[in-house]
Chain A
Amino acid sequence: MSIYEKIGGEAAVDAAVDIFYRKVLADDRINEFFDTVDMESQHTKQKAFLTMAFGGPNSYTGKDMREAHKNMKLTEDHFNAVAENLVATLQDLNVGQEEIDAIIAVCLTVKDDVLNV
């Protein structure tokens, strides 16, 4: 069973996305990247990101990740801040440490693409 199925599939993503997006909007280290006019489409992007991180069905490729974050001048600190918010979200939802580790491992696989290095 994939982590995605283990933590509850799409319903888990739905539960996580509001919490996660609220956390990043409140985080001064990174909220400038998320606080756009079109909150709804930003919210949809976060949902796609979480689906990917949870190992669910998604159409993201490394190339999309690279393209989407181009010119944003993201640093390691930004990446870590997002990861921290993700961990805190999963803890709020009582996801086990083992699953959290597996989810963060997925995020690390796209790190270079996100940072465009």
Chain B
Amino acid sequence: MTAIVFEGEPITLDEGETVLDGLLRLGHSIPHGCRSGVCQSCLLSATEIDKVANAQTGLSEAQKQLNFFLGCQCLPTEAMTVARVDADVSRIKATVMEKTQLNDQVWRLRLTADLDYRPGQYVTLWRDENLARSYSLASTHEQPWLEFHIRHYPEGEFSSWLVESLSKDDTLELNGPLGQFFYTAQSEDPMLMIAMGTGLAPIWGIVNEALMKQHRGPIEVVVGAKQAKDFYYREELGALQAQFDNLQVHWLSLDSDSPETANLYDYCQSNFSQLSDHKVYLCGGTSFVKKLRRYAFMAGASMRDIYADTFIAFGGEPG
């Protein structure tokens, strides 16, 4: 048990309880999302910096200097003083420029905001003080908007709000950019990029940046989906492929007529069995990324060269 002080009020945390969980248990309204250290919606600040250093992974230098930390990652072992963070400091405003349905499930959202980012990174979007979700950046710097590809889950709180209520010119808040999922390859490096569903969002951004930066090595993009009708951006990727000789796109769906393209994992194992010297980018759900990371590593990619973004489910794991 550890005693902390939150905005003047003494609070006792249970054994193994994070600062976030303790505050929520006692009825404080504290913004939060993933509870996994990913979305940074649970930012708090501490008076004593050294006591929260291990709850600062992924924060910017400026945020660290302000003694910010992630409430969901902080298990204090000694007394400390904690406060909320002013949203004006940690978030920026964005305006909806366009919202377009791309297929049955996927919506494209374009926002205008003053954000310095790398294509493929993600931001956390806020519906209101109580609901935040992370989404990957599919746009590149040439585009004067931030682009997102968002899958609609009928039961999903954020994505349903986006589909049903959000309209052009509305404003919302975001924080970020976050993560290390972006183009870092040398021009000649072979790249293998594997996306499941809207995992294509950051990969679309990274492919475009790589080509714009005149990447010369081969780029293989593998896009997976349950059904072929869940694919989107086929024309756009087709047009890029026609324009750049070093880009090859592979579309794999479970309902495919050809056994060859029905199983993404087998397909990759037989077509890309030698990955030493490759830069590998993986994006999709938890089990997808786990399986593909293992495959890429066993196929010879160095752990250092495997970049992965996992779309962990915020509202608890599905199923």
Decide yes or no whether B28 CB sits under 8 A from chain A. no
Decide yes or no whether A27 CB sits under 8 A from chain B. no
Decide yes or no whether A37 CB sits under 8 A from chain B. yes
Decide yes or no whether A68 CB sits under 8 A from chain B. no
* Interface residue SS majority, chain A: helix
Give A88 to B56 CA distance when docked, in angstroms: 39
> For A40, what are the chain B residues with a Cβ–Cβ distance below 8 Å?
303
Is the pair A37, B303 in contact by a Cβ cutoff of 8 Å? no
Give A43 to B294 CA distance when docked, in angstroms: 12
Task: Tell me the smallest distance from the CB of A17 to a CB of chain B, in Å.
Answer: 8
Task: Tell me the smallest distance from the CB of A43 to a CB of chain B, in Å.
Answer: 5
One digit per residue, 1 when the CB lies within 8 angstroms of any chain A CB and 0 when it does not, for chain B 268-293 equals 00000000000000000010001001
Q: Which of these, A18, A39, A43, contacts B290 with CB under 8 Å?
A: A39
> For A64, what are the chain B residues with a Cβ–Cβ distance below 8 Å?
none
* Chain B positions 13-35 with a Cβ under 8 Å from a chain A Cβ: none
* Chain B positions 25-69 with a Cβ under 8 Å from a chain A Cβ: none
Closest to A18 in B: B302
Is the pair B286, A37 in contact by a Cβ cutoff of 8 Å? yes
**Given A26-B298, A39-B297; A21-B290 close (CB under 8 Å):** no
**Given A37-B286, A39-B293; A25-B298 close (CB under 8 Å):** yes
Decide yes or no whether A69 CB sits under 8 A from chain B. no
Decide yes or no whether A22 CB sits under 8 A from chain B. yes
Closest to A25 in B: B298
> For B294, what are the chain A residues with a Cβ–Cβ distance below 8 Å?
25, 35, 39
Is the pair A39, B303 in contact by a Cβ cutoff of 8 Å? yes
Give A40 to B298 CA distance when docked, in angstroms: 14
Give A76 to B173 CA distance when docked, in angstroms: 56
Give A18 to B300 CA distance when docked, in angstroms: 9
One digit per residue, 1 when the CB lies within 8 angstroms of any chain A CB and 0 when it does not, for chain B 288-314 equals 001001100110001100000000000
Closest to B308 in A: A40
Give A25 to B303 CA distance when docked, in angstroms: 13
Give A37 to B287 CA distance when docked, in angstroms: 8
> For B298, what are the chain A residues with a Cβ–Cβ distance below 8 Å?
22, 25-26
> For B293, what are the chain A residues with a Cβ–Cβ distance below 8 Å?
39
Closest to B302 in A: A18
Give A37 to B310 CA distance when docked, in angstroms: 12
One digit per residue, 1 when the CB lies within 8 angstroms of any chain A CB and 0 when it does not, for chain B 241-266 equals 00000000000000000000000000
Give A39 to B298 CA distance when docked, in angstroms: 12
> For B303, what are the chain A residues with a Cβ–Cβ distance below 8 Å?
17-18, 21, 39-40, 43
> For A35, what are the chain B residues with a Cβ–Cβ distance below 8 Å?
294
Given contacts A18-B303, A37-B290, A43-B303, 13 further A-B contacts (CB under 8 A): A21-B297, A21-B303, A22-B297, A22-B298, A25-B294, A25-B297, A25-B298, A26-B298, A37-B286, A39-B290, A39-B293, A39-B294, A40-B303
A–B Cβ pairs within 8 angstroms, 22 of them:
A17-B303, A18-B297, A18-B302, A18-B303, A21-B297, A21-B303, A22-B297, A22-B298, A25-B294, A25-B297, A25-B298, A26-B298, A35-B294, A37-B286, A37-B290, A39-B290, A39-B293, A39-B294, A39-B297, A39-B303, A40-B303, A43-B303
Give 3 nearest A-B pairs by CB, closest first: A43-B303, A18-B302, A39-B293
